[in-house]
Chains A and B, each alone.
Chain A
Amino acid sequence: MTVSRFRTIIYVVAAIVSLAGLADATYLSVQALTGETLGCGGSPDCSKVLGSPYARIGGVPVALFGVLAYFCAFTFATFAAFGYTRARTFLIPTAGAMFLGTLWLLYVQAFLLHAYCRYCLFSAATTFLIAGLVIALPPGRERSVS
């Protein structure tokens, strides 16, 4: 397998993982906007996490920022898979920012709220996967679309 093909596969996988994260974040955003009380399989932990003040920034649900972040990651990964070199330049900081944001949200759940929301953990897993895929990208110049 050539390096170029390997890169393309990584970008495609990153785009698919971003889609999963996008679906999760969209669901959580709708939940936040409708005020629905969400349970995690009968556990009240979801409503504890999603109903906490940490679940909003300036009144905006954190999940909406997640929608934006996953959509950006999906867009950049898709364009990178089609050979747009600049997309990779944007994908790396996006994945980095998502990774840092996820670390903060995990810290909040573990040490401040002492409760875990399964939907948030799924989102954390997808972000870590995207970050891992970006790290796994082989270095060097890429073939670009002219």
Chain B
Amino acid sequence: MKRYLPFVIVVVVALATVGSGALLYRAKRPHVLPIPEDKTLSAKSGPESPHVRGNPNAPVTLEEYGDFQCPPCGMFAAFAGQLEKEYDSRLRVVFRNFPLKMHEHAAEAALAAEAAGMQGRFWEMHDVLYKEQDNWSTAPNVRELFESYAATIGLDVNKFKADMDSEHAKARVEADRLRGESLGIQTTPTLFINNQPLEQKDKNPEGIRAVINAALEKKSQI
């Protein structure tokens, strides 16, 4: 019996590993819903109107739910810039705030971006926040840093400060967050291409390009 005991132990551990891994995967697997028709870009205005970059009539829309303090979002921001150049007028990029609670300064960074947006410089602030992410993520004086970024991109700093504390900025961030939650979003970046959530297996440069190309092909057939 002792001769076979190590085989039994190893098989039991293998089964336990596969079983617990599968259970954990099922529990943690995100169930993100497609964006419903009544929540598409053209259907909304006001606090829920999104930040759009690129051709407003582009056949493909890449919608991102992002957190300014999330490192993978920072990496994706650089890649999104490449995609915009590659696809030019065929792609528009939409950004929605989804600050995660685990990131200490993410909500404040979202407010900074919205405050910049009130002066028409949302994307400039978006780019600076991601570019400087390593610096402000761990800084104690994050507000001062955001104000210095506002000055760098040519904003009226006094208005920026007031706008960061405004109810309007908070409402915009909250509207994005609630919209994301209603779609089942739990992680960042969560991406949608033409309102369809990008699957985890496609969350890489080749996968994203393939899905965009497929969406372009689909549009050209209509």
A residues touching B (Cβ–Cβ < 8 Å)? 19, 22, 26-27, 29-31, 33-37, 39, 42, 44, 47-48, 51-53, 59, 67, 71, 74-75, 78-79, 81-82, 84, 114-115, 145
Contact = CB atoms under 8 A, between A and B. Distances in A.
Interface in B154-194: 186-188
B205 to A, nearest CB: 10
Given A30-B21, A71-B14, A82 B6 contact: yes
Interface size class of B (residues with CB under 8 A): 20 to 34
Given A33-B25, A71-B13, A75-B10, 18 more contacts: A27-B24, A30-B21, A33-B200, A34-B25, A34-B28, A34-B30, A35-B30, A36-B28, A36-B187, A37-B186, A42-B102, A44-B102, A44-B137, A47-B71, A48-B71, A67-B17, A74-B13, A84-B6
Contacts of B219: none
A67 B200 CA distance: 20
Interface string B66-94: 01011110010000000000000000000
B200 A44 contact: no
A31 B187 CA distance: 11
A91 B29 CA distance: 35
B9 A36 contact: no
A42 B204 CA distance: 26
B28 A30 contact: yes
Contacts of B28: 30-31, 34, 36
Interface in B1-19: 2-3, 5-6, 9-10, 13-14, 17
B9 A78 contact: yes
A37 B72 contact: yes
A71 B9 CA distance: 12
Contact of B6 (A39, A52, A59, A81): A81
A26 B72 contact: no
Contact of B10 (A35, A48, A74): A74
A93 B137 CA distance: 41
A82 B29 contact: no
B20 interface: yes
Nearest to B18: A26
Nearest to A115: B71
Contacts of A79: 6, 10
Interface string B110-147: 00000000000000000000000010010000000000
15 contacts: A22-B17, A26-B20, A37-B67, A37-B72, A37-B100, A37-B186, A37-B188, A44-B102, A47-B71, A48-B71, A53-B75, A74-B13, A75-B10, A79-B6, A82-B3
A37 B10 contact: no
A51 B75 contact: yes
Contacts of A39: 100, 102-103
B112 to A, nearest CB: 17
6 closest A-B pairs by beta carbon, nearest first, are A51-B72, A39-B102, A48-B71, A37-B187, A82-B6, A34-B28
B203 interface: yes
A9 B178 CA distance: 55
Nearest to A70: B17
Interface string B52-77: 00000000000000010111100100
Contacts of B137: 44
